[in-house]
Structure 1
């Protein structure tokens, strides 16, 4: 994730604090000096860092902290609370009018920030909430922008309104709203044109749309990879046209992440969502408290649970649980489990949401294609072999290995994992039934 480097540095600072029985004011100042350097290296705005350190220091050298039996933990608690305050205290939702009225959302941002893809992601989110969104192609300048929106709209099952590239964006927006009223849409999302950099023509165009259309929310999309430039862009857009909220994209990439910690403080505008990948489902609601927990290495179990609830079929999960209790699962079930996990996102990102995992995984390269070989092996089996793994003799394994394009040792390894898991499930099931307890086992083979 974007904050891996910052997270590692902060955890090292806190590790030193935890080791001390009592803290002196000098201890706190030394620790906060290191925190300051870590934040600046993460490309957090200088004024924001200065005010943040001042706030933490004023609280951390107070009597309550210094006389505490665990002063190190108290300082960490204060840093966490101030970081949450920095990013907005509470979660901010997109403001939508009642479903019986028309909500108009204008998306804006520089070219390359991922605005068009993010626009489709928002449409998908709103559709899941029961809204009927209409995507509108107002970017008449960038080659293939209209086509990109149409492709993404089709993937999301959302209609796209387009008049081609021969009309002014403001006229397209007005025509789209008329179309929405006539056809029962209750959300219109305008994908406006970006530029490589901020210029007067772009701002004039956006102002013209807002003057002629009743825009409910103006949402700015910025690229986390651009660091401080993203904050400057947000400040300029907010000053010129007025912004209601910000979406930060590419926060899953190898970036320092300072934009997420600076934008709210500099612009006063809330972060609504963060883009955590290229898939149309990779858009997460922004929770300041959860993001602070991730940055400080405390994990983000709530988001992990929500991802699971969104992607895992409850009926299938219950059925799987029954099978596992009786040790009756087969390779069809294993394949189903892999598909469920992959729907939730990148394996590295999922593991990073577990408390303490980011520190343990910092030197481990996690490949999201880790299950591809296993899937290929299972897909090379016949239906009977998947449902009856016990019939897998050497000749069958040889044929499966050839079909999957792997060495036969990989097939043997998978079969051995299956046998060990089945044996373990039988033992655990027996132990649980013997004690009258019912555990919950969802993922076989150590998943």
Structure 2
């Protein structure tokens, strides 16, 4: 995540002060010194840093020492960081259905503008808008080919020209064409340009006048540091953009320069580009961003992310309601977890997990999941559709599968142990359902029925196929747990509770359970590297 190191340093400074017995002015000054140093190293503008320091000190100094002061310090740091990235503008663009909404993109060369255009078109398309793309970049060789390739992959209509060199004409023709065809989101991709290139800036103004966009978005590379402020001011004066998309936030340590740009132009960040894939685009919310920055998590973002995957879980949900959970169901759940993205992305959304997974390699975690999938893929159809007892009756099957998947017998045993745990949970759910339907006078009345129905709705909405499992007491603050098995059931249970309702953590999410299960996932299975995929027998 962008500014991850900054978040760790700020969190460490605040936590150190909160843990201390005495919170006097000297301790407060030391904390502010550490926070300001971290912000300056992240390329945040020095004037903004001075203003943040002054605001926090003014807020806290008036309060008397004690527990109340500690809470005030925490809230003040959070609020001031939110203020850095929130220009507090109410006139955010909201596209309307049934009419053409034109969005024009501007920005520097190499900022990821063309890729972001496709990501945004796909983002709107997934929400029911009829989206399309217009390539008005006739300056860069291969620009139209890049947009064409991205649009084809995302199944989004596009317009451009290999022969026409006038970007104003291309953009006008493309917009007019899609307007006639009743497209609702028309995104115009323009050439990358620098503030010192006056001719290209005039061209940008001409395109703006020709297509009359409803919104102009500047794409800003989060890694350019302090140069972001000067560039954004120049674009603001010429194109008067109304929003910013911050790209390459998955690897930048100098995102403070982009924050400075937000403050300088009083323009909101609307999206974050978090990777190279078309799905790696997140809607920006200042409070949720700062919460993730400080390791407080983003439960809402996690729910939205999982729901956007649209996982097909009808068969698994049917099996679980009947008290059945096959090895194939386990394999499907492993695939769904892999679709959720790298651990580093998930860690930022789950409170406390980012601190627990410091130093962990996404590739290592991904390899461990893949090895579990390889094991399942080396089973034949009879084994996959079984309840796992055939492996107990014929242990030689495990040896064959280990050889075929390039793993060890111990790893095969771990996968089968995991399956038994989840199969047991499925049987418990079926018993609960039966008790709720047939024993109204013995704890199975309307209240239990409603609770069971709510749990199933949450699971269905999340696209996850499991429930039950341990809540995981005592995981937070104790480091990585020493469990050998990855408790898939616990992960399913924790994620299944995100829809709301009673339960520990925010919105019914079993936070400790999630942290424990992800922790055991990273430390669980032995063996390194990715196993080869064995053939089915």
Q: TM-score, normalized by length of structure 1?
A: 0.90
- Of 177-186 and 405-414, deviating more is 405-414
Given the alignment of the two structures, is residue 316 of structure 1 paired with residue 360 of structure 2, yes or no?
A: no
Distance 1:430-1:182 versus aligned 2 partners, 3 A rule: closer
- 2:208 and 2:44 map into 1 onto residues whose CA distance is 32
Contact 1:21/1:69, CA 8 A, preserved across alignment: no
Where structure 2 has 5 or more consecutive residues not aligned to the other structure, the ranges are: 436-441, 456-465, 468-486, 492-537
Given the alignment of the two structures, is residue 362 of structure 1 paired with residue 358 of structure 2, yes or no?
A: yes
Distance 1:417-1:344 versus aligned 2 partners, 3 A rule: closer
- 1:406 and 1:343 map into 2 onto residues whose CA distance is 22
Distance 1:198-1:103 versus aligned 2 partners, 3 A rule: farther
Matches within 5 A, 1:28-427: 28-63=28-63, 66-88=64-86, 95-195=93-193, 198-313=196-311, 316=313, 320=316, 323-324=319-320, 328-367=324-363, 368-388=366-386, 389-392=388-391, 393-423=394-424
Contact 1:224/1:248, CA 8 A, preserved across alignment: yes
Distance 1:109-1:328 versus aligned 2 partners, 3 A rule: same
**Which is bigger in relative contact order (C-alpha 8 A, separation at least 6)?**
1
Secondary structure of residue in 2 paired with 1:104:
strand
State the 1:281 CA deviation: 0.9
State the 1:190 CA deviation: 0.7
State the 1:394 CA deviation: 4.1
- 2:488 and 2:212 map into 1 onto residues whose CA distance is 53
Contact 2:228/2:258, CA 8 A, preserved across alignment: no
State the 1:265 CA deviation: 1.1
1:444 corresponding residue in structure 2: 488
- 1:2 and 1:213 map into 2 onto residues whose CA distance is 34
1:13 corresponding residue in structure 2: 13
Contact 1:294/1:353, CA 8 A, preserved across alignment: yes
Contact 2:87/2:266, CA 8 A, preserved across alignment: no
- 2:281 and 2:400 map into 1 onto residues whose CA distance is 42
Contact 2:103/2:188, CA 8 A, preserved across alignment: yes
Contact 1:251/1:257, CA 8 A, preserved across alignment: yes
Distance 1:154-1:75 versus aligned 2 partners, 3 A rule: same
Distance 1:387-1:196 versus aligned 2 partners, 3 A rule: farther
1:183-233 deviation line (CA, Å, top 9, x unaligned): 221221111111477522321211110122211111011111222223332
Pairs aligned (count): 443
State the 1:239 CA deviation: 2.3
CA RMSD of aligned residues (A): 2.8
Contact 1:93/1:272, CA 8 A, preserved across alignment: no
Where structure 1 has 5 or more consecutive residues not aligned to the other structure, the ranges are: none
1:334-376 deviation line (CA, Å, top 9, x unaligned): 2222232233322221122111222222232233344222222
Distance 1:52-1:192 versus aligned 2 partners, 3 A rule: same
Secondary structure of residue in 1 paired with 2:48:
helix
Contact 1:87/1:260, CA 8 A, preserved across alignment: no
- 2:294 and 2:12 map into 1 onto residues whose CA distance is 10
Secondary structure of residue in 2 paired with 1:328:
coil
- 1:289 and 1:151 map into 2 onto residues whose CA distance is 35
- 1:197 and 1:347 map into 2 onto residues whose CA distance is 38
- Of 163-172 and 14-23, deviating more is 14-23
Contact 1:20/1:72, CA 8 A, preserved across alignment: no
